[in-house]
Amino acid sequence: DGGITQSPKYLFRKEGQNVTLSCEQNLNHDAMYWYRQDPGQGLRLIYYSQIVNDFQKGDIAEGYSVSREKKESFPLTVTSAQKNPTAFYLCASSIRAGLNTEAFFGQGTRLTVV
Amino acid sequence: GQQVMQIPQYQHVQEGEDFTTYCNSSTTLSNIQWYKQRPGGHPVFLIQLVKSGEVKKQKRLTFQFGEAKKNSSLHITATQTTDVGTYFCAGKWEYGNKLVFGAGTILRVKS
């Protein structure tokens, strides 16, 4: 059963702690993306990766870090430097990073800082 | 920077009424995609428009791409309660591989 899986679905973090969100895909897609969703602001791009061992900053990369050591995995770390980390985080993948490719989204992780 | 502006932010309609959401870019897009996110769910791809002036239909949904490839619209005819959700446009430009989303339009349908 192919798809893109995010875990956990809900995550609570104490202020000042780093936390890593998991994103795994078995679609054999080259490109992967992390978005943050806040009410009324749509989806904002945090980081994206076009191929293994390569990634680029999106529009709101500050306070976040990623790695792409394997094609199927693109974990996102929310560091303590992120001032307002409470949000809904969505991971997506596409067959390649070129122009005419649709994005497939995971179910999302809702992160709450307590 | 590369941005896509989407309006309106919210739309409440009576079941059976039509609905339209609009997207605009200040620079020429290579393509534009449309996604739907149901409440509590994740965005799901609806369609992609690539050609200038392109019009595509999916049942009651009509998608248009402007002649200048800077704007696009999604029109739903005779809305149903199953249409509720947030509709996003997402643009790509010729140079670069980012998929940039608009802020989305939240559609509520009153029965």
Q: Number of H helices and number of E strands within chain B?
A: 0, 11
Q: Is the pLDDT of residue B5 over 70?
A: yes
In the prediction, which pLDDT does A53 show?
95
Mutation choice for B interface testing from A29, A43, A44, A47 by most B CBs within 10 A: A43
Closest alpha carbon to B75 in B63, B88, B90: B63
In the prediction, which pLDDT does B1 show?
67
State whether A42 and B44 contact (CB < 8 Å). Answer: no
* CA dist A7 → A11, A66, A102 (Å): 9, 15, 22
In the prediction, which pLDDT does A2 show?
65
For chain A positions 6-35, those within 8 Å of chain B (CB to CB) are 31, 33, 35
Q: What is the CB-side half-sphere exposure of residue A110 using CA atoms within 13 A?
A: 7
Return the minimum-mean-pLDDT range out of A34-38, A80-84, A93-97, B17-21.
A93-97
In the prediction, which pLDDT does A100 show?
67
Q: Is the pLDDT of residue A5 over 70?
A: yes
Per-residue pLDDT reduced to its tens digit, B38-65: 998 999 999 999 999 999 999 999 999 9
Closest alpha carbon to A43 in A112, A94, A105: A105
Per-residue pLDDT reduced to its tens digit, A15-65: 989 999 999 999 999 999 999 999 877 899 999 999 999 999 999 999 999
Instruction: State the average pLDDT over residues A71-100.
Output: 90
A40 CB neighbours in chain B (<8 A) are: 9, 103
